[in-house]
């Protein structure tokens, strides 16, 4: 469903009516209990606990349009608010790249940082003939139709795009030839692969832990910068020659109109959260891996990610 910024901006007034103003507000673009809500509540609590803000952070749940409602509110109503932060993830950049917010673009806000990630993985069945990521990639490049991937997102979603990123790095020109089966969640995707209906599964580490422990699958690669504590036996795609870092990162954006100094101040605050023992404990308790990138470095990463996703989405026909 196409969503226009004008429509969302008009409706958002009802969502925020009567909200008390506090020094810092974190908007979670979804209902309570999801990943964006988790980011606001955990990061907000730690910001206050470690003295980065002077008062408890107010969390506002603003569900609608897969994040589009909150995005429209920030762009149209809060563009220069230095005390506003908004939870974001890989889904945010994917939807922006695919024009799911009705004409909104990623450069209408500033992405200030990410401090944790549910790492992407490429997995095969335990008895698969593919013993390494290179084995799988070489087979797919030589004959794209011979390798099918299963994932828990729809066609064009982030699970679909992860293996395409790797295959593009390997030189595959026509990624439309790569087969992808979108199913209802990571567990179903693994079942497809274990059953031999697909040759590999693309998803996140949190989805495969039980299957790894039972010995039903073998992880060929984890899509992080470095190997992940607790899963040190899984090599990164990068160390195997494919410079791809992809996963469901947890981070924040801020209004576009704030000053460079205010943007850097938020980057520094987020870095302080990332460095804290409180955040390390939170990651360990919730299955997140370290992934810290703040300030201009993260903005550059997001810009490149959006461009790559847009190009691949055009290649596979998700957008024109």
Handedness of CA 224, 229, 235, 241 (dihedral sign): positive
Q: Is the pLDDT of residue 164 over 90?
A: yes
Q: Which of 70-74, 184-188, 266-270 has the lowest mean pLDDT?
A: 184-188
pLDDT confidence of residue 155? 87
Let me know if residue 283 belongs to a domain.
Answer: yes
Burial of 280 (0-12, 13-18, 19+ CB in 10 A): middle
Let me know if residue 167 belongs to a domain.
Answer: yes
pTM of the model: 0.79
The percentage of the chain sitting over the pLDDT mark of 70, rounded to a whole number, equals 93
**63, 132: one domain:** no
**190, 255: one domain:** no
Q: Which of 53-62, 198-207, 251-260 has the lowest mean pLDDT?
A: 198-207
- How far apart CA 253 and CA 251 sit, in angstroms, is 7
- Higher-confidence residue: 302 or 153? 302
CATH of the domain at 108: 3.40.190.150
Q: Average pLDDT, stretch 106-132?
A: 96
Cβ atoms of 104 and 69 closer than 8 Å: no
**131, 183: one domain:** yes
Let me know if residue 17 belongs to a domain.
Answer: yes
pLDDT confidence of residue 134? 97
- How far apart CA 215 and CA 230 sit, in angstroms, is 16
Cβ atoms of 61 and 291 closer than 8 Å: no
**17, 40: one domain:** yes
Helices (H), 170-295: 186-194, 205-213, 260-275, 277-286
**223, 134: one domain:** yes
Let me know if residue 215 belongs to a domain.
Answer: yes
**86, 128: one domain:** no
Q: Is the pLDDT of residue 183 over 90?
A: no
Q: Where are the beta strands (DSSP E) in the chain?
A: 25-28, 58-61, 84-89, 109-125, 148-151, 179-182, 200-204, 217-222, 247-255, 293-294
Phi, psi (deg, nearest 5) at residue 80: -120, 20
pLDDT confidence of residue 228? 87
In the chain, the number of structural domains is 2
**169, 79: one domain:** no
**105, 129: one domain:** no
Let me know if residue 320 belongs to a domain.
Answer: no
Which of 195, 221, 240 represents a domain boundary (last residue)?
Answer: 240
Range of the domain at 252: 5-117+248-315
Q: Is the pLDDT of residue 291 over 70?
A: yes
CA neighbours closer than 13 Å in the CB half-sphere of residue 20: 4
Q: Average pLDDT, stretch 297-320?
A: 91
**Chain segment 202-259, per-residue pLDDT in tens:** 999 888 888 999 999 999 999 998 888 888 999 999 999 999 998 899 999 999 999 9
pLDDT confidence of residue 151? 92
**Chain segment 72-108, per-residue pLDDT in tens:** 999 999 999 999 999 999 999 999 999 999 889 999 9
**41, 130: one domain:** no
- How far apart CA 77 and CA 16 sit, in angstroms, is 11
**208, 103: one domain:** no
Cβ atoms of 245 and 152 closer than 8 Å: no
Which of 205, 240, 275 represents a domain boundary (last residue)?
Answer: 240
- How far apart CA 157 and CA 44 sit, in angstroms, is 29
CATH of the domain at 224: 3.40.190.10
**103, 124: one domain:** no
End-to-end CA distance of the chain: 16
pLDDT confidence of residue 318? 87
Q: Average pLDDT, stretch 54-62?
A: 96
**107, 141: one domain:** no
Q: What band does 16 get if pLDDT is binned at 50, 70 and 90?
A: very low
Q: Is the pLDDT of residue 187 over 90?
A: no
Which of 202, 219, 240 represents a domain boundary (last residue)?
Answer: 240
pLDDT confidence of residue 285? 84
> Where do we find the tokens 């939870």?
87
Let me know if residue 295 belongs to a domain.
Answer: yes
Let me know if residue 41 belongs to a domain.
Answer: yes
pLDDT confidence of residue 4? 53
What the block records as the tokens of 104 is: 């909104």
- Higher-confidence residue: 295 or 156? 295
Q: Nearest CA to 69 among 37, 101, 26?
A: 101
Let me know if residue 103 belongs to a domain.
Answer: yes
Average pLDDT, the chain: 90
Burial of 174 (0-12, 13-18, 19+ CB in 10 A): exposed
């Amino acid at each position: 469903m196409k969503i226009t910024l004008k429509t969302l901006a008009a409706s958002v007034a009802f969502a925020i009516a009567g909200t008390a103003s506090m020094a810092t507000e974190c908007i979670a673009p979804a209902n309570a209990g999801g990943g964006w809500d988790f980011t606001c509540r955990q990061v907000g609590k730690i910001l206050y606990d470690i003295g980065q803000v002077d008062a408890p952070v107010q969390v506002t749940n603003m569900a609608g349009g897969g994040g589009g409602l909150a995005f429209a509110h920030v762009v149209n109503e809060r563009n220069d608010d230095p005390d506003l932060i908004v939870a974001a993830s890989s889904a945010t950049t994917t939807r922006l790249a695919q024009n799911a917010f009705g004409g909104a673009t990623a450069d209408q806000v500033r992405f200030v940082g990410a401090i944790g990630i549910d790492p992407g993985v490429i997995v095969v069945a335990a008895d698969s003939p593919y013993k390494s990521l290179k084995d799988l990639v070489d087979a797919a490049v030589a004959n794209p139709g011979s390798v099918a991937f299963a994932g828990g997102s729809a066609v064009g979603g982030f699970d679909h795009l992860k293996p395409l990123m790797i295959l593009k790095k390997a030189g595959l020109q026509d990624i439309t030839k790569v087969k992808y089966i979108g199913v209802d969640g990571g567990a179903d995707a693994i079942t497809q692969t274990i059953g031999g209906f697909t040759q590999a599964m693309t998803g996140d580490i949190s989805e495969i832990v039980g299957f790894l422990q039972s010995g039903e699958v073998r992880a060929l690669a984890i899509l992080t910068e470095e190997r992940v504590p607790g899963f040190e036996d899984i090599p990164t795609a990068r160390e195997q020659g494919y410079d791809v870092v992809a996963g469901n990162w947890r981070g924040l954006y801020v209004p576009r109109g704030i000053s460079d100094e205010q943007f850097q101040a938020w980057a520094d605050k987020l870095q302080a959260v990332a460095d804290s023992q409180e955040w390390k404990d939170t990651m360990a308790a919730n299955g997140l891996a370290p992934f810290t990138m703040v300030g201009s470095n993260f903005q550059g990463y997001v810009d490149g990610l959006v461009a790559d996703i847009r190009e691949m989405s055009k290649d596979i026909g998700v957008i024109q």
